[in-house]
Structure 1
Amino acid sequence: MRCRHCSAQLSHNFLDLGFSPPSNAYLTTEDLTRPEKYYPLKVMVCNQCWLVQTEDYTQADELFDAEYSYFSSTSKSWLDHAENFSKRMIEEMGLCGNSFVIEIASNDGYLLKNFVRENIPCLGIEPTASTAEAAEALGIPVLREFFGEQLGRRLSADGRQADLIVGNNVYAHVPNINDFTCGLKAALRVGGTITLEFPHLMRLIESSQFDTIYHEHFSYLSLSVVDKIFTSCGLRIFDVEKLNTHGGSLRIFGCHADDDRPVRGSVKELIDEEIGNGVKDLRLYQDFQFKVDQIKDNLLTFLIEQKRKNVKVVAYGAAAKGCTLLNYAGVKPDLLPIVFDASISKQNKYLPGSHIPIKAPGELRDMAVDLILILPWNIKEEVIDQLSFVADKGAKFVVAVPEIKILQPS
């Protein structure tokens, strides 16, 4: 396999999670009687440009199909995050009725609805029919396509270049990252701004966040490598911010390479920090497998101990990261009988691989449970608040990454 960015031959492993089904391929009762597709889930690092990437086994249209079940609006904290960002960009950029905003991977309209409310013209680009329909119901125009250079050039030829292009948690999801980035340049108006948010590779490594690795994520990104990719496509990063979302993310601000905006000190500072932490040193990547295996072993040991003590354990959050954790650990319904999730599109289905049934959170009111394993640990405070009625009955909450920890409601 060759690197997705620089085409160098890849030979250095970062993590091998064995075989797993796509993390958002939730199953119906009928699906349980049919064969299930599993793919290798292996991550490698390029020692030339330092892009961390999964091996090529799946196609994007297999992962992001009409039945795609991730709806961004399920999380209130994420909705608040999107609204605050929208207000900020409208104010700072002076966006108005003569402006044009494009969001790539616009999902269910969680972000663009804020621009529609202010009568700012916008366009969502979203290939999954289920989420695109939800966005269109909010009055958001949507192109149901995958984004790349060809689409970017088409938008430009149609006079639809954007003042602001937003891409939240999509950059890691694209198999051809060079083509996607060149598409950004083509679709960006002169003087326009690109903002991308993506999980930060350094936070993944520091906190052993291996459960954020799944087939839908083709790349795991540092600022250093994104800066290289932008430069190769005629773009430039002029600012970066650290965010707490998804366990630690970056928000980058980009523009055309010949734009006269100065590069802020935050960019060099973070690149220097990454290099100082070893992002361009193979030694940083070589002991990650051992740390991950410890987390897996500790989770299995914990669940087996609870079963032997007749402690009732259930899970919350049928999220992709939970699927990675449970499938790598080999957890089945005998150790974790139910996972609860607020997303209606997932309820009464089954987690891929583990086949654990997914139920609505309201059913917890009539159940006696002792422990709730929060799989999307990045929103644990939100989950604890939502399930306060369970805590009132004596249940406790637990997370498994980066270590087993019993949480106390605030």
Structure 2
Amino acid sequence: MTQCRLCGSTDLAGVVDLGATPPCERFLTADQLEEPEITYPLHLQVCTSCWLAQIPPLITPEDTFTEYAYFSSYSTSWVEHARTFVADAVERLRPSFVVEVASNDGYLLQHVVERGIRCLGIEPSANVGQAAVDKGVPTRTDFLSPETGASVRAEHGPADLVVANNVYAHIPDVIGFTQGLRNLVADDGWVSIEVQHLLTLIELNQYDTIYHEHFQYYTVASAQRALASGGLALVDVELVPTHGGSIRLWAQPAEVAGEPGPRVIDVLDREKAAGLHELSGYTEFAERVAGVRRDLLRFLVDAAAEGKTVVGYGAPGKGNTLLNHCGVRPDLLAYTVDRNPYKHGRFTPGMRIPILPPEQIGADRPDYVLVLPWNLRDELVDQLSYIREWGGRLVFPIPTLEIVS
């Protein structure tokens, strides 16, 4: 990559190079196991002019999201997070029309529908969007662009609240996407964006959230610049625990937005203190990533040598970054399980680890369960508490290897 996608600078510095991996959501069928897989470099860089961390756009959103394997509603805690957000936002903003971009299977807008508030989801994946329609959530199959935003506004009117959860990292045209948000929102409306915080990604070694679907990685400082590129101004920010530590950005059209609030200033100060507004905050990350890899491999190799069985829980995108970077194959991880039936009978990209229904763990009674969606720790510790019946233990690979009873 030779040019920053936000400011156009050519001053890019390497942060961590994870080699080459297949796209993380391209799960294989049994018929595809004898076929080759295309891999793409996975090299995180940071622009030393605007401090947007980014990877090259080697795949397109159309490659990934036309048919998608991720359904948000399979995470109970994520659905509850969305329900709480809707309750709070409706109480505070009293919106009459809500639009969600990348609305997935209706995990959030179903709570808007329940309240009798007019809404629309914009979801590029037809298979996932159909699940939302089946729940009674009006959904348009489309990618957001300036033109899409203008079209929705012309047809449905401006939105009092536009929600964009876990999508602001997924679009290579960050400026065009932001302009699309501006076209959707009313001139005095609000835009709410949730995206993983680069501060926690680096501080807690969350490198497995680096994958080809995530084109950029935000601090509040770089998000503020990105929003400005499309005519939006950051007014407030919340630190939320989802996905290991995210920021919820509250923005309004620049013409009506006031000055950034005290929480924005506070988080900017924290980022600056961590060195993320200069190169110093990024220099040691690659070595800590190497340490995570060594520790996980040491555990898996020792367990195999001792005749212990290790299986996985979950088949998230982040898990595939971890498995491919560490070179974990079925000889070290017999299989993983997932609640999403779409993935059952398929195999993880690259390492080709079988994906089975969750009930397989109870049938096989393994010694260890490696938790790949570590960000759902509280939810999964409760779900998997039954493995204590036979002395099974959970293993969390990030931020550092932890084995818990």
Shorter chain as denominator, the TM-score bin is over 0.9
Q: Mapping of 1:142-161 within 5 angstroms?
A: 142-161=139-158
Deviation track 1:75-112 (CA, whole Å, cap 9, x = no partner) reads 100010000000111111123xxx11100000000000
Amino acid at match of 1:162: A
Tell me how far 1:10 sits from its aligned partner.
4.1
| Gaps in structure 1 of 5+ consecutive residues | none
Q: Share of identical aligned residues, percent?
A: 40
**TM-score where L is the length of structure 1:** 0.96
Question: Cα RMSD between the aligned structures?
Answer: 1.2
Corresponding residue number in structure 2 for 1:63:
64
1:309 to 2:306 alignment? yes
User: 270-279 or 193-202: which moved more?
Assistant: 270-279
Distance in 2 of aligned mates of 1:178 and 1:121: 28
Any conservation in 2 of the 1:330–1:354 contact (CA below 8 Å)? yes
Deviation track 1:167-193 (CA, whole Å, cap 9, x = no partner) reads 110001111111111111111112100
Corresponding residue number in structure 1 for 2:80:
80
Amino acid at match of 2:70: Y
Amino acid at match of 2:207: F
Q: Mapping of 1:143-182 within 5 angstroms?
A: 143-182=140-179
Any conservation in 2 of the 1:371–1:395 contact (CA below 8 Å)? yes
Paired residue for 1:299, among 296, 300, 304?
A: 296
| Secondary structure of 2:18's aligned partner | strand
1:135 to 2:132 alignment? yes
Corresponding residue number in structure 2 for 1:24:
25
Distance in 2 of aligned mates of 1:342 and 1:272: 40
Tell me how far 1:260 sits from its aligned partner.
5.2
Tell me how far 1:147 sits from its aligned partner.
0.6
| Secondary structure of 2:169's aligned partner | helix
Tell me how far 1:118 sits from its aligned partner.
1.1
Distance in 2 of aligned mates of 1:304 and 1:295: 14
Any conservation in 1 of the 2:11–2:49 contact (CA below 8 Å)? no
Tell me how far 1:261 sits from its aligned partner.
4.5
Any conservation in 1 of the 2:178–2:229 contact (CA below 8 Å)? no
Tell me how far 1:65 sits from its aligned partner.
2.5
Aligned length: 404
Corresponding residue number in structure 2 for 1:404:
401
Amino acid at match of 1:69: A
Corresponding residue number in structure 2 for 1:108:
105
Distance in 1 of aligned mates of 2:216 and 2:336: 28
**Segments ≥4 residues shifted beyond 2 Å:** 155-160, 260-263
Deviation track 1:29-61 (CA, whole Å, cap 9, x = no partner) reads 001121111111111100000000001211111
Tell me how far 1:280 sits from its aligned partner.
1.6
Amino acid at match of 1:264: G
Amino acid at match of 1:291: R
Corresponding residue number in structure 2 for 1:33:
34
Tell me how far 1:130 sits from its aligned partner.
1.5
Deviation track 1:190-233 (CA, whole Å, cap 9, x = no partner) reads 21000000000000010011001000100000000111122232
Deviation track 1:326-346 (CA, whole Å, cap 9, x = no partner) reads 100111000101101111111
Q: Mapping of 1:144-293 within 5 angstroms?
A: 144-259=141-256, 261=258, 263-293=260-290
Corresponding residue number in structure 2 for 1:333:
330
Corresponding residue number in structure 1 for 2:362:
365
Distance in 1 of aligned mates of 2:75 and 2:154: 37
1:90 to 2:87 alignment? no
Any conservation in 2 of the 1:191–1:259 contact (CA below 8 Å)? yes
| Secondary structure of 2:263's aligned partner | helix
| Secondary structure of 1:183's aligned partner | helix
Any conservation in 2 of the 1:10–1:44 contact (CA below 8 Å)? no
Any conservation in 2 of the 1:306–1:312 contact (CA below 8 Å)? yes
Distance in 1 of aligned mates of 2:74 and 2:246: 19
Deviation track 1:297-333 (CA, whole Å, cap 9, x = no partner) reads 1111110000000011111010111100010011100
User: 223-232 or 324-333: which moved more?
Assistant: 223-232
| Secondary structure of 1:306's aligned partner | helix
Paired residue for 1:324, among 321, 324, 328?
A: 321
Amino acid at match of 2:49: Q
Tell me how far 1:159 sits from its aligned partner.
4.8
Distance in 1 of aligned mates of 2:56 and 2:397: 26
Any conservation in 1 of the 2:233–2:257 contact (CA below 8 Å)? no
Distance in 2 of aligned mates of 1:358 and 1:186: 41
Amino acid at match of 2:312: A
Paired residue for 2:352, among 337, 351, 355?
A: 355
Any conservation in 1 of the 2:4–2:12 contact (CA below 8 Å)? no
1:374 to 2:395 alignment? no
| Secondary structure of 1:238's aligned partner | strand
Distance in 2 of aligned mates of 1:230 and 1:131: 27
| Secondary structure of 1:173's aligned partner | coil
| Secondary structure of 2:33's aligned partner | helix
Amino acid at match of 1:206: E
